[in-house]
Amino acid sequence: MSDDCNDNCAAVHRCANASRRYRFPFGASEIPSNGVYILFEKGECGHGQDRIVRIGSHTGSDRLSSRLEEHFVIENKDRSIFRKNIGKAILNQRGDSFLKYWEKDLTSKENKEKYASQIDFEYQKCIEKQVSQYMRCNFSFCVIGTADKEENPLVLEKKLIATISLCSECRPSKDWLGRYSPEKKIVKSGLWQVHHLYKTEKTLSASDVRKFFSDYRAFTQHT
Ligand SMILES: [Zn+2]
């Protein structure tokens, strides 16, 4: 299994690295309506190329670019677990006691009222800006547009995460920000994710990899 995952992970890296790369600011109209995004981070190498550090997709139809905006543009950690995790690592790295407040989900009215007197919202905004700056300067991504509405991008997302997490060849650099994450799964996997890791039964099959390559080529030619 490990050898297969290493080979498939290397193949995914080759394909993703050869594909059209997006950076902030990106135009929503340039991005396919549905699909999976693959993120790279400055300073991270894997399989002799840029290392994949996160895979993501979206729920709901035609929401891929909106999901990416929730990571890169909209400064609200409670709408993006990715932003929340970047902020947690930044705060933890410098031993900032605001970490315990950053972790709170303030989406519900109940929580907003509960923590209103405890949280310094100006400081929270300042952390949001630091997260945005880190993300915009350090992350780039490519996308795999899923072929049609019947194809659920979450299925491909899970397979990619399982495969990459089980690869023994791509590891984070010694300076990787994720090493400071309080989330043990992020530190251990070298990926900005905590779900769908190490699922041996959900990895990419040989035909998935072939399909991946052909779909990807189709998409990159299209753009
Ligand atoms: Zn790998």
pTM of the shown model: 0.93
pLDDT of 46: 97
Split at pLDDT 50, 70, 90, the class of 219 is: low
Task: Please tell me the distance between residue 173's alpha carbon and the centre of ligand 1 in angstroms.
Answer: 13
Q: Are 162 and 199 in contact (CB under 8 A)?
A: yes
Task: Please tell me the distance between residue 119's alpha carbon and the centre of ligand 1 in angstroms.
Answer: 40
For 144-197, the pLDDT digits (tens) are: 888 666 677 888 899 999 999 999 999 999 999 999 999 999 999 999 999 999
Instruction: Give φ, ψ of 19 to 5 degrees.
Output: -90, 165
Q: Higher pLDDT residue, 36 or 218?
A: 36
pLDDT of 138: 98
Which tokens go with 105?
């989900």
Strand arrangement of the beta sheet that strand 139-145 belongs to: 49-56, 35-46, 139-145
Task: Please tell me the distance between residue 167's alpha carbon and the centre of ligand 1 in angstroms.
Answer: 5
For 91-126, the pLDDT digits (tens) are: 999 999 999 999 999 999 999 899 989 999 999 999
pLDDT of 222: 46
Around ion ligand 1, residues with a beta carbon closer than 5 Å are 9, 167, 169-170
Instruction: Give φ, ψ of 74 to 5 degrees.
Output: -80, 120
